[in-house]
Amino acid sequence: MSDAHLLPPDLVDGLDVHDATPLSGGDISAAYRLDTADGRLFLKTHDSPTPGLFERESAGLRALAAHTPEPVRVPEVVRESPHGLVLEWIDLGGRRDRATEADFGRALAGLHRTTHDTFGGLDGVTFGYLGSAEVDLTPSTDWVEFYVDRRVGPLLDRAVREGAIDPGAADLFDRVRPRAAELCGPDEPPALLHGDLWAGNRVVDADGVNWLIDPAAHWGHREVDLAMMQLFGGFGDACLSAYGEAYPLADGWSDRVPWYQLVPLLVHAILFGGHYGAAATRVLARYA
């Protein structure tokens, strides 16, 4: 049975939706396949979203669409409202092989060559989300301050406060903080990041084309995306090789991967608990 009558009118009115099929897989929003007179669309919606959630995602999708080189694609934003988005439909089911991996690596390198004069949110936005965890995106010209003091530090404080990580992690962070400039690596211009680039946010369609979805886009250090890609796997050697050929990484980047995995580990500890807090503590101990 169609669920179209349950959907927000500001998202579906005028789209001639004749069927709405619930989809599984979302952690935050309800998702639907919309069958319309003009073809299929994808809808994600939430009855009481955190402020600006969908506006931030929409802005990120549009920024990625404008700057991600072909053949990698980004779904078009068809409709947006404070309660959801309607997006271009993607027919999934394609296989990932060396060619799709290399295509993705080269396109990501091209995306990261899009630069800005400050780190932080798109168009001066001052806050955003990783999952449903709010993060500070106030523009800054200082990457170390942005990453360490306005991202790692506040997330660690929250994780300790909510019992998601051992309080001893705060002492480790205090020992690491004096080395922050060294650990963050050589200066690089602020790059346009996907911002939440785990394997589930890169999909391959039935024609073997890569797509980027569900961004937490902002201006940051490009090694953040590379570190996230390696946290849960799902990206092949051909992807990283093609990236490195198109846009070589600074010396020592692989030693900084755990450092730049701290933020997603802390977010996962806050949102999901489990072993993520212990994993973040091990990273801090490694550098302390």
DSSP annotation string for 201-241:
GEEEBTTS-EEE-S---EEE-THHHHHHHHHS----HHHHH
* Digit-coded pLDDT (tens) for 250-271: 999 999 999 999 999 999 999 9
In sequence order, the 6+-apart residues with CB closer than 8 A to the CB of 15 are: 34, 36, 41, 78, 79, 86
Mean pLDDT of successive 10-residue segments in the chain (288 residues)? 70 93 82 95 93 94 98 97 96 93 98 98 93 92 97 98 97 97 97 97 96 97 98 96 98 97 98 96 97
The tokens of 249 are what?
């990484």
Decide yes or no: CATH 3.30.200.20 for domain 4-88: yes
The tokens of 245 are what?
């050929």
Q: What is the dihedral of CA 31, 124, 230, 104, to 10 degrees?
A: 80
Q: What gap in Å lies between CA 195 and CA 229, rounded to an integer?
A: 10
> Which of 3.40.50.1110, 3.50.50.60, 3.40.50.300, 3.90.1200.10 is the CATH number of 98-287?
3.90.1200.10
Question: Rg for the chain (alpha carbons), in Å?
Answer: 19
CA distances from 55 to 81, 135, 217, 230 (A): 7, 15, 12, 28
The residue extents of the domains of the chain are 4-88, 98-287
What average pLDDT does the structure give for the chain?
95
Amino acid letter for position 284: L
pLDDT value of residue 1: 39
- pTM for the whole thing? 0.95
Residues labelled as active-site residues: 196
